[in-house]
Amino acid sequence: MGLFRKKEEPSTKVGRVRKCPQCGAPVPASKVVCPECGWEFDDTNNRESALERLSNELQKANGFFSSRTTEDVLSSFRIPKSKGDLLEVTMFFKAKLSSDSEYEREYRAKYEECIMKCKQYYAQDPDFARLISEHDNMVRHKANSAFIKRIFTIIGVIVGVCLLALGIWKISSIVSANKKTEQKKLTIEHSIALNDENAIIRAIDNTKKIEDPLSVITTLVKSNYLDAAIYLYENRTEHVSTYDMKWEYSYGDKATFTKSATKILYDALINAERMDEAWDYHALDYDTPTYAGNCNCYFQYMMDVVNYYCKQNRKQEARLFLKEHLIWFTNYVDNGRYGKDYSDFTSAKVNQRISKYINEF
């Protein structure tokens, strides 16, 4: 593939420390804001905000033509790290806690996940201080209420026993309390046999340790439970980013697992015609998905989708996909800050190459 040779661009990473593209200061990988100049590292390549994307998915859920439920959308939604998106989704989930919703449990779980990220990335940011403080106060209030409730329960039990002992109530016998039997938790394998994706996700959550996650992901994909496979990967596995996975000498088994798992999910998403989601699992040459240096990665992703359509004699859909996704090269190569270093991947040249491929297929 000499035709698509990349030029190396000054890296914005120094080992496991990023270099700020604005002032050049080193920024730890755990931080998303440069401590020197305030530059915010954005973690999304979508043009719509995370809240807009979530709202759109929730509107589609439970529709006549949708196979996804509200629980599915909420359980698979990934909490963003960028400041603006994280602030919006945190306030959104917090507002849902006070609403009379049948999905209160799912909203609460996502709200707790948001607060964890707020504390992880923005603990010292004044914009998040109030949200974190309100959450901590709510937790303390809930704990105090539970303690008081237990005290009154104990007092009530003591009073009841005393009344019984004094003979106020003439009871010939006291019926022993029935022992509570713990409901047997379904294993992931058993839940797959039930043909219930929600049950599968619950089983994933309830499984203390998943011994061979790659094998389970493969089984779920083959059984047409792609969302459950994605949920397992995102929430129950130790993995690295699609950029870091190429550094096997640094990340070892995590990088090896990530390569295999993301390839399975990437191919499955294309076969399910969830093309835009597939890009999230494509390997990257550079850490920022929207950096012009990832032009060859995005080109290969587009070729994979186009090839999928062409093999099914759906060339018109392939052309439509090409037209809609050329904007990546327009934004980040034609008009991007470093686009001049990747002149082989201008939108015009990419359009010419892929159009020729479609026409000659």
pLDDT digits (tens, 9 = 90+) for 33-88: 677 766 566 554 445 788 888 888 888 877 666 678 888 888 888 988 888 889 89
Strands in 17-19's sheet, in edge-to-edge order, are: 13-14, 17-19, 26-28
Do residues 65 and 124 share a domain?
yes
Do residues 126 and 69 share a domain?
yes
Within-domain flag for 184: no
Within-domain flag for 218: yes
Do residues 141 and 200 share a domain?
no
Do residues 47 and 160 share a domain?
yes
Do residues 51 and 139 share a domain?
yes
Within-domain flag for 154: yes
**Structure confidence at residue 30 (pLDDT):** 66
What is the Cα–Cα distance from 269 to 251, expressed in whole angstroms? 26
Q: What is the mean pLDDT of residues 12-24?
A: 62
The pTM (predicted TM-score) of the whole model is 0.50
Do residues 52 and 159 share a domain?
yes
Within-domain flag for 178: no
pLDDT in tens, 95-112: 888 766 788 888 899 999
Within-domain flag for 141: yes
Do residues 142 and 62 share a domain?
yes
Contact of 121 with 31, CB cutoff 8 Å: yes
Do residues 230 and 319 share a domain?
no
Q: Residue 143 is part of which domain span?
A: 42-165
Within-domain flag for 220: yes
Provide the domain count of the chain: 4
pLDDT in tens, 116-150: 999 888 888 888 888 888 888 988 888 877 778 77
Do residues 194 and 233 share a domain?
yes
At 267, list the tokens.
Answer: 């191919």
